[in-house]
């Protein structure tokens, strides 16, 4: 991206129905500012008016659903679009006088910040159809995971109301189908006692055969630990059954969605490349690929690591001890998926395991060592995606890898 060629920077404070735009020249002179409707004709008019003063770059502060029309129109007009993250935006706003939080001020901060820091911006692209589908599916999967976590927490709270000992025994196992089946059918201590060990064990076996004996024993031990019946047990039991029915529907939908994500992910040429690297399954691979987008926009693996928030941050102040600390910024969705993939690799890939152990021997804790593995793999991942080459140990181990 030749940032020196831009004559006009248009900061757009994004909204669902109406954006606010501020245009400034590369030298910082204000051209115009106005509201812009989130429709094609208004966005095209904004680009046309700004283009009269020179080559245009748009600068936005969000990339969610409300930005998709602007991104598509800008792509058709061959207008580059830069993204300023929320953290960058907050820090930039603090450098300007005043503390007001208004759409015109935010648009002006975006435009002026971009004109002064064009070489530090993250430039966006309109993804191909498969990547766009992956982003949508990943978002839905995240929503369902959040819903499942909320229902599980509410169900555990309800279990505490009828038997704290029972909640301690099975609260963390509600993700298991067999446990959901048992508690959904006999949701109170009284109902579980009436059912008996054999029925409980046989029902768990249908979907969680390996856990049947262990969980049955833990449930019975919890029942023996509490012989009193707590108030409103029957009503709480109805709530627990209802919550577990909700959880079952969510889990079923997530399983169906996982199959769709896998199909779309493996349909993408780069998906078939990324899945050859240890640690990347359909979910982690789909999220990683969707968040990276076009690999050509990252010049080096270091740029990719910085974008993901995997690069260490140096801390030097006066005569204090110098050190490197974990970077708190970056693309958290990409960082989380690459962390999970690196964690799996440390369990199954000898090279990743050896590097992880080396970092542990240096005194790093578990999470820090896994992040080191994820950072090291950025160079490898970028090389694979840029060349569309599946992972081959003999070939890729010759690549220069950051320590």
Domain 3-126 CATH class label: alpha beta
**Residue 316, pLDDT score:** 64
**Residue 402, pLDDT score:** 41
Residue extents of the structural domains in the chain: 3-126, 134-262, 269-396
Closest CA to 276 of 320, 341, 321: 341
**Residue 401, pLDDT score:** 43
Instruction: Assign 3-class secondary structure to 71-118.
Output: HHHHHHCCCCEEECCHHHHHHHHCCCCCCCCCHHHHHHHHHHHHHHCH
pLDDT in tens, the chain (403 residues): 666 788 999 999 988 889 999 999 988 889 999 999 999 999 999 999 999 999 999 999 887 778 889 988 998 898 989 888 777 778 788 877 777 788 889 999 899 888 888 877 777 765 668 888 888 899 999 999 999 999 999 999 999 999 999 999 999 999 999 999 999 999 999 999 999 999 999 999 999 999 999 999 999 999 999 999 999 999 999 999 999 999 999 999 999 999 999 999 999 999 999 999 999 998 999 999 998 888 888 888 988 998 898 887 666 666 655 556 666 677 888 999 999 999 999 999 999 999 999 999 999 999 999 999 999 999 999 999 999 999 887 654 544 444 3
Residue reference for tokens 């029925």: 199
Task: In whole angstroms, give the CA distance from residue 222 to residue 311.
Answer: 47
CA angle 368, 374, 379 (to 5 degrees): 140
Residue reference for tokens 């889990």: 251
Task: In whole angstroms, give the CA distance from residue 112 to residue 221.
Answer: 66
**Residue 201, pLDDT score:** 95
Radius of gyration, alpha carbons of the chain: 27
Q: 35, exposed or middle or buried, with CB in 10 Å at 0-12, 13-18, 19+?
A: middle
The pTM of the full predicted model, rounded to 2 decimals, is 0.74
**Residue 101, pLDDT score:** 81
Judged by phi (left if over 0) then psi (alpha if -120 to 50, else beta), residue 60 lies in beta
Task: In whole angstroms, give the CA distance from residue 58 to residue 23.
Answer: 9
**Residue 196, pLDDT score:** 94
User: C-alpha dihedral over 178, 183, 184, 190, to 10 degrees?
Assistant: 150
């Amino acid at each position: 991206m030749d940032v020196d060629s831009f004559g006009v920077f248009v900061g757009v404070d994004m909204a669902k129905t109406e954006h606010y735009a501020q245009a400034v020249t590369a030298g910082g002179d204000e051209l115009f500012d106005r509201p812009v409707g989130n429709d094609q004709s208004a966005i095209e008019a904004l680009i046309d008016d700004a283009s009269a003063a020179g080559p245009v770059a748009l600068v936005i502060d969000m990339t969610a659903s409300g930005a998709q029309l602007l991104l598509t129109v800008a792509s058709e007009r061959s207008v580059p679009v830069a993204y300023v993250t929320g953290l960058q935006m907050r820090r930039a706003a603090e450098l300007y006088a005043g503390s007001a939080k208004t759409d015109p001020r935010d648009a002006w901060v975006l435009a002026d910040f971009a004109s002064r820091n064009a070489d530090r911006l993250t430039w966006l692209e309109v993804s191909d159809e498969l990547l766009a589908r992956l982003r949508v599916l990943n978002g839905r999967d995240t929503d369902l995971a959040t819903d499942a976590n909320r229902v599980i927490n509410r169900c555990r709270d309800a279990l505490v109301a009828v038997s704290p000992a029972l909640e301690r025994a099975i609260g963390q196992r509600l993700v298991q189908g067999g446990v959901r089946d048992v508690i959904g059918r006999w949701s109170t201590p009284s109902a579980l006692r009436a059912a008996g060990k054999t029925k409980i064990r046989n029902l768990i076996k249908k979907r969680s055969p390996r856990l049947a004996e262990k969980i049955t024993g833990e449930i019975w031990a919890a029942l023996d630990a509490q012989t009193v019946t707590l108030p409103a047990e029957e009503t709480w039991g109805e709530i627990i059954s209802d919550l577990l029915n909700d959880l079952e529907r969510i889990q079923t939908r997530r399983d169906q969605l996982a199959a769709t994500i896998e199909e779309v992910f493996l349909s993408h040429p780069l998906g078939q490349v990324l899945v050859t690297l240890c640690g990347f399954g359909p979910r982690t691979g789909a999220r990683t690929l969707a968040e990276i987008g076009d690999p050509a926009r990252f010049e080096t693996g270091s740029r990719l690591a910085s974008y993901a928030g995997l690069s260490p941050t140096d801390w030097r102040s006066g005569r204090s001890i110098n050190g490197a600390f974990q970077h708190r910024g970056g693309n958290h969705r990409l960082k989380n998926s690459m962390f999970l993939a690196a964690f799996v690799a440390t369990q199954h890939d000898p090279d990743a395991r050896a590097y992880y152990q080396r970092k542990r021997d240096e005194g790093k804790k578990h999470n820090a060592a896994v992040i080191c593995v994820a950072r090291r793999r950025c160079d490898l991942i970028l090389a694979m995606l840029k060349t569309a080459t599946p992972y081959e140990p003999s070939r890729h181990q010759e690549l220069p890898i950051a320590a």
